[in-house]
Each structure stands twice: as C-alpha cells, then as structure tokens.
Amino acid sequence: MARASDTVDIEGPVGRLQTLVDEPEAPRGLALVAHPHPLFGGTNANKVAYTLAHCLRDLGYVALRPNSRGVGRSEGIYDHGRGETDDLLAVLEHAARRWGDTGPLPVVLAGFSFGAFVQTRVARRLTEAGRPAERLVLVALATGPVSDAPLFSPEAVPRDTILIHGDQDTTVPLAAVLAYAEPLELPVVVIPGADHFFHGRLKSIRDVIEARWRER
C-alpha cells in the first residue's frame, strides 16, 4: 500500500504554505505540483493534482503540493498568479534545502488548469536564474479566456513539455490550447472524451506521463 502523504507547513513570502509531500524511497529529483484556481474551489486535494503528484512520486520524485495562498491553512490572499509564482518558488527552495544536501536535484514542474498557467511563470523564473526545470507537465492549461476568469497568457515553454488536454473541455477549449502551442511547435496530447476535470480519464494522464518518461 502506498504511504500516505505527509503535511508540512512551509514559510512563504506572506506566511504559511500548507503543503502535501509524497516522498519515494530513493529520490531522483523534486516535483512541484500546482492545483487549479483557488477562487473556483481548487485545492491541493484536487484529483488531477493528486494524480500528478503520485505519478511523479512513483517515477522517483519528491512531490510537493502546496495549497495556494488563502486555501486551507495557507496564509495570504489570491494574487492573480503573481504571488502564487513566488509561493511555488519558496516551496521549491525549501525542498532543495531539505533534499538537496548532496547537490542540486533536477526539478519537474507540474500543474493543472490555473496551476499549469502559474507553472509556466515559475519555469521562466527558474530559467532566468540559470537553473531551468528538467521537465514541465501541464494538464488543461489555462490559456485565453477561461469561463468567468480574466484572460490568461501563459509563458512560452520548452518543446519537450508534456501538454495534455481533453477534447471535451468546455472550460478551456482545445482550440485555445492549440493556438498557444502552435507558434511554440509544441505537441499537444489530446485525450478523447476528457472534460476539463478528466472525469473517468485520470489514468490517461498517468499513462501519457509514464510513456513520455520511458521515451527519454
């Protein structure tokens, strides 16, 4: 039976960040997992975020899932992706100190919906700092107009990014993700029959990630 997630409080820029941690027996890297929009019910217990974290743990990464500021026991208020980017970087710095005692560990950034959008910003910050992420995994990336939320403009990401989307997504239409990916020459893995929340299609997310890892 898989070990239950640990819960730790990490100090962020505006206070506590309640974080779930899933640790493999022999860590090969760190995986930072970001949940969907906090103003629309997104938490680190979201089933897609859970799937991402447990899949990456099983691939050997210490998976950290913070609650966004203002969610659960995390302190602060929603900041439109700006403060959330700073928070994720703070969690990553904590993880690097905790598990990187023998040297820097590779980093995977994963996110769902709004969380995927924020991870594109985290990726840019890491690249600018000279320590780019090893890989990005973006599921149902928030891009363009999303339901009642403002326009989302994700940062450019590397061509080896794993970008997964459902063809029945009515929250973020597939056409919006294709429009984002086309100028980047970025492949999009389309899951037939999947809606925005991947009801009944969570295993497909895991299958895609595991297959792409085997190809490396």
CATH number at residue 176: 3.40.50.1820
For residue 1, tell me if it sits in a domain: no
| Domain span at 124 | 6-214
Count the domains in the chain: 1
For residue 47, tell me if it sits in a domain: yes
For residue 91, tell me if it sits in a domain: yes
| Residue 184, H or E segment | none
For residue 93, tell me if it sits in a domain: yes
For 38-61, write each residue's pLDDT tens digit. 999 999 999 999 999 999 999 999
For 109-148, write each residue's pLDDT tens digit. 999 999 999 999 999 999 999 999 999 999 999 999 876 6
For residue 132, tell me if it sits in a domain: yes
Q: Which residues have CB under 8 Å from 49's CB, separation 6+?
A: 33, 34, 35, 36, 65, 111, 112, 115
